[in-house]
Amino acid sequence: MKELNSLPKENFLSGLKISLLLCLSILAACKTEQTVVSSPESLTTTYPERDKMQDSLDQIILMRQKEKLMENYQASAARDFDILHTDLDLSFDWANQSVIGRAILTVKPFFYAQKNLQLDAKDYDMGAVYLLEGETKQKLNYGYNERILSIYLPEEMTAEDTFRVEINYQAFPERNSGGGSEAITDTKGLYFIDPLDTIPGKPRMIWTQGETEHNSKWFPTIDRPNERFTQLFKLTVEDSLVTISNGRLILQEALGGGMRKDYWEMDLPHAPYLAALAIGNFAKVEDRYGDLPLGYYVEKGFEKGAAKVFENTPEMIAFFEEKLGYPFPWPKYDQIVVRDFVSGAMENTTASIFMENLLLDEREAIDSDWDYIIAHELFHQWFGDLVTAESWSNLTLNEAFANYSEYLWNEYKYGSDEAGLKLIAEMEGYFSESEEKLDQLIQFQYEDAEDLFDAHRYNKGGVILHMLRQYLGDEAFFMGLNDYLTKHAFQSVEVHDLRLAFERVSGKDLNWFFNQWFLDRGHPELKFDIDYSIPENILITVHQVQDLEKSPVFQFPLEVSWYEGKERKSKPFFVNKGFNQFALENGTPVTQIYLDEGKNLLSRRTGQMGAAQFQRQFEESILGVARYEALDSLVSQDAEEELMVILPQALQDSFWAIREKALGILQVDPSWPEQIPGIEDLVLTLAEKDPKNSVQAGALEVLASWNVEKYQPLFLRKVNAPSYLVAGSALTGLVLSKEKPEEIEFFARFEAENNFRMVIPLAELYIDRSIAGKGDWFLEKPTRLSQEGLYYFLGYLAEYFIRMPEEGEERALVYLYHMMEYSPQNFLRMGAFQALMGFGDQPAVVSKMKEIAGKEQDIQVRNYFDYFLQVLTDEN
C-alpha cells in the first residue's frame, strides 16, 4: 500500500486504465478462439487459453511492478561540472543561528560544454554572484528556488575551461530542517548548540554533519558523493573559541575586537559530505602516531578521560595500516566529542565527530567501551573517505567496511572469541530487520537515501565481508583490499570495482558471490539432518528452506567440525543447491558433529540439537562463541538439569562473556545456591576479583538478589571501587538492604556523583523511602546527566514528584515539558513524554502534552505520542 500511495495519482490511474484495457483485449482474444463453455467436460479444452491469459496477466503485473521500481530508481549523479577547489570565508550569527559566507569555487565542465552551473544551496538568502577573472569581477545573473542555485555563465564553457565563481550568501540551517533517519536524526547540516548561552552547564558549540547531502545547508556545492574537491576554510570566531576542520590549520589571524580568523587547508580531494567544522571552548589532548599528529577534542575538564577513551588510536592506525598494506592517507587525525550530535559519530575526513557519550571523566573512562565506534570511524578514513561510494545506492561500500573493522580490531586486540560474539550480534541485528524488509545491499530503488542507513548496509555488509575473507583466505582478502584502495584512491567506486579487485588478486571468479550477497536479497534458511547410523561416515543433509520468491538458492562453503578427544577436526563442504547431501568420511567413529561451529555463516538454521547435545557442545568446544551459544540455547530450552551441570563451569570459563551470561541466568532465581552446592562461593570469587569489571558488577548483583543482608560488608567495600560499574552495583545492594531511616545520611555522601550508575540507586532509595527535601537534587541531576543516563533518570524524577508534589512538582513539569518539546534527541523527547504519562490524571498536563505533541516533526515520535495520548484519554 505504501508503494501504491506514493505514486502520483494521475500516473497510477493511467497505468490502471492501460492494464484494464489490456486485460479486456486478452479476454476478447480468448473469446474469439473459444466462445462456448457448455459443460464441465469442455473446461479441459479451455485450459491453454486460460493459461495464456494468466501468463499475460502475470506479465502485466510484472511490468507494473517494474514500472513502480523504475519510478524510484536513483541513478548515480550525472557529472556536468567538477568542483576542483572550494574556498570558504565564514562567520557566524549565533543569535539568528545563521552562517554568513563567501564561497569561491574553482570549477570546470566535466565533459560536455555547459553554460548553466547548478549548485545545491539550501535555504539561503542570496547575495551577489560574480565570475572572477584575475583581479576583476563580472556580476552574473542567477536563479534560485531555495534549493538549487542556477548561475548563468556569460558564455559556454568546455572541459578545457577552468573558471572561478564567487557566491555571497547567508545560510539558515534551521529553515526546513527535520526528518532524517534512525541513523542520522536531523538534516540541518550545521548546528548551533545553546547559541545564546542560556542553558546552565551546557557549552556553546557549532558543529556540522553533512551526510548524506546536508552540507549544502551551509555552503554551496555539488552535494553528491561522486564529487571531490580540495578546500580552504577561513573561519571567523571569537578568539576564546577553538576551531577544528579538515586538513591542517595553516594560519591564525588576529582581527582585533576579540575576534580571530582560522585558516584550515585541505590539499587532498574528498567528497562534499565529508567537509566539516567544529567550534567551541574545547580542550585538546595531543597524541601522535609516528609523524602523524592526533588530537582528541573535548570540553574542558574531560582531558584525562579523553586520553583514556581514545588511547588506542595510535595502535589502531598501526594495525589497520599493517592489515591493509596502505598508510593512513591524510595529514592528521582529530576526534571531537560534541553535545547533541544527531548520530553516533561521523567520519569527516581527518576530523571525526562523536556523540557526547564519549565525554567521560577519568573515573568513567575506566570502563570505557568505545573502541568499536572509534575503530569504525577510523577505518572510514580509508573506506569512505579515500575511496568513496559513487552513489548512496553503493553505501555499503563505505559502511560494511567500517562495521567489519570493529570485528578486525576485536580479533586483534581482544581475541577471536570476543570478535566472534561481535559478529553474532551483527547478524542478529540484521535478522531482526529482515523480519520487516529484505533489500539488496546495492539498492538503486529508494525514496530517500536516509532510509539506506540500516542493518542491511551496515550489519549484513560487514558479515558478508567476513564470509568473503573466510572463502578467499587472509592473504588474498587483504591483498584484494590493498589493490582496491591503491587503484581507486581519491576516486568514487561501485560494487563491481570491489569484485574486480578481489578477482585480480585471487584469480577466482566471484560473480556468484557478489550476485547473491550484494545484488540479491535475503539469506539462507537452513534445515540440517544428520544421520549418525554409520558413526565412521556420518551423512549430512542440508535443505535451503527460504522463500525462493524473495531470495535465491545460495552457494556457500560450510565447515563441519568434530572432536576426537581434545583435538578439533574439520572438513569444508560447498553447498550449491536447495538440497545437498554430504558424506563426512570421518573414519574414526564420531557421535556428535557441528555445522558452522564458529558461526561465520550468515544464515538461520533449524533442526540441530537437543539439551544433552548442547551440554556436550559447551563441554568440548574450544570456540567461545559455540560455548556461549550452548549456554544460551539451554536457557531457551529450560534445560535445568543440564544447566545445573554446566553453570559452575560457565562461571569459571576463560571467556568473560560466558561468565557474565551465567551470572545473568543465576540472578533471576534465588534458589540456585540450594540446587548447586558451591555455586555461591564461585559467584563471591567473581565479585571479589574477576579481572573484568562488568563481571564483578554482575556478580555483586547476583549476591544482592540472593541474600542482600548477608553481603552488606562486601557492598560497603565495593562501593568505593574505582569502576563505576562495580561501585554502582554495590550501591544498589546497599540501597536494597533494610537500613533504618536515621542511617540515610550514609547515602548522602554519594549525592555529588554524576554517573547514572550511582545516581539511579540513590533516586530509587529516595523514592522508595519517601525521603523529603530531595526535590532540588532531583531537579539538578538532569543538568549533569546525558544520553541513556538521562533517559533512565527521567522516570525516577517524575515518580519522586508524583509521590511528593510539595517538593517541586511544577518545576518538574516545566522541565519535562521543555525536554519533550526541545530535546534534540528523539529518544529523550520520548523519555520525557513517558515521564509525563505519570501525571496523566491531571487534565492540564494531558492538555499540555497534546499541545507539544502537535509540534513534533519526527513522524515516528509523533505517532508514538498520538497513540499513547489516545490511550490516556480513553482511560480518563
Predicted local confidence at residue 180, as pLDDT: 62
**Does the pLDDT at position 218 exceed 90?**
yes
Neighbouring residues of 742: CB distance < 8 A, sequence distance ≥ 6: none
The whole-chain average pLDDT of the chain stands at: 91
Summarize the confidence of residues 262-270 as an average pLDDT. Answer: 98
Predicted local confidence at residue 39, as pLDDT: 34
Distances in Å between the alpha carbon of 79 and those of 163, 178, 449, 792?
Answer: 16, 28, 19, 49
Summarize the confidence of residues 243-264 as an average pLDDT. Answer: 98
Element (H, E) at 101: strand 98-109
Element (H, E) at 236: strand 229-238
**Does the pLDDT at position 54 exceed 90?**
no
How far is it, in rounded angstroms, from Cα 138 to Cα 130? Answer: 5
Instruction: Give 169-199 pLDDT, tens digit per residue.
Output: 999 999 987 666 666 667 899 999 999 999 8
Element (H, E) at 570: strand 567-575
**Does the pLDDT at position 242 exceed 90?**
yes
Predicted local confidence at residue 62, as pLDDT: 57
**Does the pLDDT at position 477 exceed 70?**
yes
How far is it, in rounded angstroms, from Cα 684 to Cα 332? Answer: 48
**Does the pLDDT at position 119 exceed 60?**
yes
Burial of 474 (0-12, 13-18, 19+ CB in 10 A): exposed
Predicted local confidence at residue 251, as pLDDT: 98
Task: Give the phi and the psi of residue 100 in degrees, each rounded to 5.
Answer: -100, 115
Instruction: Give 140-154 pLDDT, tens digit per residue.
Output: 999 999 999 999 999
Predicted local confidence at residue 422, as pLDDT: 96
- Pick from 215, 223, 212, 249: which is nearest to 83 by CA? 223
* Residue 383 identity (one-letter amino acid): F
pLDDT tier for residue 613 given thresholds of 50, 70 and 90:
very high
Summarize the confidence of residues 254-276 as an average pLDDT. Answer: 98
**Does the pLDDT at position 444 exceed 50?**
yes
Which contacts (CB < 8 Å, 24+ apart) does range 531-535 have?
532/590, 532/591, 535/589, 535/590, 535/591
How far is it, in rounded angstroms, from Cα 379 to Cα 75? Answer: 27
pLDDT tier for residue 112 given thresholds of 50, 70 and 90:
very high
pLDDT tier for residue 51 given thresholds of 50, 70 and 90:
low
Predicted local confidence at residue 56, as pLDDT: 65
- Pick from 707, 644, 705, 701: which is nearest to 678 by CA? 644
Predicted local confidence at residue 52, as pLDDT: 60
Predicted local confidence at residue 28, as pLDDT: 34
Predicted local confidence at residue 551, as pLDDT: 94
Percent of the chain with pLDDT over 70: 90
pLDDT tier for residue 70 given thresholds of 50, 70 and 90:
low
Predicted local confidence at residue 187, as pLDDT: 86
Task: Give the phi and the psi of residue 94 in degrees, each rounded to 5.
Answer: -65, -40
How far is it, in rounded angstroms, from Cα 47 to Cα 45? Answer: 6
Instruction: Give 576-605 pLDDT, tens digit per residue.
Output: 999 999 999 999 999 999 999 999 999 999
pLDDT tier for residue 67 given thresholds of 50, 70 and 90:
low
Predicted local confidence at residue 18, as pLDDT: 32
**Does the pLDDT at position 410 exceed 90?**
yes
How far is it, in rounded angstroms, from Cα 45 to Cα 30? Answer: 12
Instruction: Give 815-830 pLDDT, tens digit per residue.
Output: 999 999 999 888 999 9
- Pick from 430, 395, 406: which is nearest to 521 by CA? 430
pLDDT tier for residue 36 given thresholds of 50, 70 and 90:
very low
Predicted local confidence at residue 825, as pLDDT: 86
